[in-house]
Amino acid sequence: MTETDVRAALRAQRIEVPSWAYGNSGTRFKVFAQPGVPRNPEEKIADAAQVHAYTGVAPVVSLHIPWDRVDDFGKLASYAAERGVRIGTINTNVFQDDDYRLGSVTNPDPRIRRKALGHLLECVDIMDATGSRDLKLWFSDGTNYPGQDDIRARQDRLAEALAATYDRLGPGQRMLLEYKLFEPAFYLTDVPDWGTAYAHCLRLGERAQVVIDTGHHAPGTNIEFIVAFLLREGKLGAFDFNSRFYADDDLMVGAADPFQLFRIMHEIVRADALRAESGVNFMLDQCHNIEPKIPAQIRSVMNVQEATAKALLVDAGALAAAQAAGDVLGANGVLMDAYNTDVRPLLAQVRTEMGLDPDPMAAYARSGYAERIVAERVGGQQAGWGA
């Protein structure tokens, strides 16, 4: 790839940011509230628009329902458009109601299953109003003790709810199924891994695809293998990017293991899946518990851009030749040469070409927006992980 092509690919890259990253978050031990945090979905969108204003590659915001429930989603979509962004993925939430103690769509009680399904279907109505393409499903469903419930019956109930939701999708809409190894369930999780998600999606049809949340695996899992496999099968719908040291830490993507992020992006580039037409949605799913939220999102977008730039710089011809020749060290060297390139000057140039400040972090800090929201957002209820 020529340097001109690399720069064009970086200009065209798109990253979707999560509305909940701008609200307060924390651990089960403590939520440290931050001044200036949004009090409603509009203010979250306004903050997200800042990330796009300084990076130029993050024009889409995911919503979480019911956290971002409003009376008029069409109006919310227009509000976003006025700020230069649009509403993207609709995230369902069937994990915070008391009824879901024993599960949502897999609950042994048919009344609760119906209620959970009702929420999923309502989220498709919201997609119709916002013009969203993707419905993202993550289920906290599982059990804590062996024998607590029937594993197979729970899979049947899950399949039934997924099929009903899939049938409700309009043309051009997709269903993205996310998996997670454990937590909040500690013995069995109903969608614990990519294989389970993939098998369900395969049965459902073309518009059901898998989401890889990079924080949802056992330590040591080779995530780029999963990426390569799903891409090859046409079943990779999206990423939830974040990074982790231990479990589902939801830290900034590229912070814990930038090399892993590079390896993932190498598979993306290898499959020519960076282009919007590939259908892979590159989303962030993060929480900024102790750091300021808007700059943390800007930094995260930049981290993805840096990993992408390095992946684009891999000399594909030299790599293929070394692999074909069985040149183990040569092939590894080609990859490491790209990884070890300082791509920050290249990205600064890309930003200048886009009419942006070459240093998004400094430009945002200078803008005075952070001080303004602290001064203006006084009173009201700060947003967090609650409806």
Which residues of this protein are in contact with ligand RM4, per CB under 6 A?
64, 91, 138, 178, 180, 213, 240, 248, 285
- Give the nearest distance from C-beta 91 to ligand RM4 in angstroms: 5
Q: Which two tokens stand for residue 247?
A: 């479990």
Choices 125-133, 142-150, 233-241, 273-281; region in contact with Mn ion by CB under 5 A: 233-241
Residue 176's closest CA among 125, 94, 113, 235?
235
- Residue 248 engages Mn ion in binding (rule: CB under 5 A): no
- Give the nearest distance from C-beta 95 to ligand RM4 in angstroms: 8
Q: 86 and 60 in contact (C-beta within 8 Å)?
A: yes
Cα torsion at 236, 237, 242, 247 (round to 10°)? -60
Total H helices, total E strands in the chain: 14, 10
- Give the nearest distance from C-beta 362 to ligand RM4 in angstroms: 30
Question: Which of Mn ion, ligand RM4, none is residue 91 near (CB under 5 to 8 Å by kind)?
Answer: ligand RM4
Cis before 184 (ω within 30): yes
Question: Which of ligand RM4, Mn ion, none is residue 132 near (CB under 5 to 8 Å by kind)?
Answer: none
Residue of minimal CB distance from ligand RM4?
138
Question: Which of ligand RM4, Mn ion, none is residue 68 near (CB under 5 to 8 Å by kind)?
Answer: none
User: 174 forms bridges with which residues in the sheet?
Assistant: 134
Q: Which residue type, as a one-letter code, is found at position 64?
A: H
- Give the nearest distance from C-beta 281 to Mn ion in angstroms: 12
Q: Which is nearer to ligand RM4, 89 or 260 (CB)?
A: 89
- Residue 240 engages Mn ion in binding (rule: CB under 5 A): yes
Q: Which is nearer to Mn ion, 90 or 313 (CB)?
A: 90
Q: Which is nearer to ligand RM4, 141 or 285 (CB)?
A: 285
Q: 217 and 149 in contact (C-beta within 8 Å)?
A: no
Q: 283 and 209 in contact (C-beta within 8 Å)?
A: no
Phi/psi class of residue 109: alpha, beta or left (left: φ > 0; alpha: ψ in -120 to 50)?
A: beta
- Give the nearest distance from C-beta 213 to Mn ion in angstroms: 4
Residue selected from 213, 248, 250, 306 as contacting Mn ion according to rule CB under 5 A = 213
Question: Which of Mn ion, ligand RM4, none is residue 149 near (CB under 5 to 8 Å by kind)?
Answer: none
- Give the nearest distance from C-beta 155 to ligand RM4 in angstroms: 20
d(CA 228, CA 22): 32
d(CA 292, CA 36): 10
- Give the nearest distance from C-beta 283 to Mn ion in angstroms: 8
Alpha-helical runs (H) found in the chain: 3-12, 41-55, 73-82, 110-130, 151-168, 194-204, 223-232, 258-270, 293-312, 316-324, 328-339, 344-353, 360-367, 369-376
Of residues 348-367, those binding Mn ion (CB under 5 A): none
Site string for Mn ion, 83-102 (x = CB under 5 A): --------------------
Q: Is 352 exposed, middle or buried (0-12, 13-18, 19+ CB in 10 A)?
A: exposed
Integer distance in angstroms from the first to the last C-alpha of the chain?
Answer: 47
Query: What is the size of the binding site for Mn ion (CB under 5 A)?
Result: 3
Question: Which of ligand RM4, Mn ion, none is residue 190 near (CB under 5 to 8 Å by kind)?
Answer: none
Q: Which is nearer to ligand RM4, 167 or 183 (CB)?
A: 183
- Match 């992006």 to its residue by tokens: 265
Q: Which is nearer to ligand RM4, 103 or 360 (CB)?
A: 103
Question: Which of Mn ion, ligand RM4, none is residue 139 near (CB under 5 to 8 Å by kind)?
Answer: none
Q: Is 350 exposed, middle or buried (0-12, 13-18, 19+ CB in 10 A)?
A: buried
Site string for Mn ion, 256-285 (x = CB under 5 A): -----------------------------x
Q: Which is nearer to ligand RM4, 64 or 83 (CB)?
A: 64
Q: Which residues bind Mn ion (CB under 5 A)?
A: 213, 240, 285
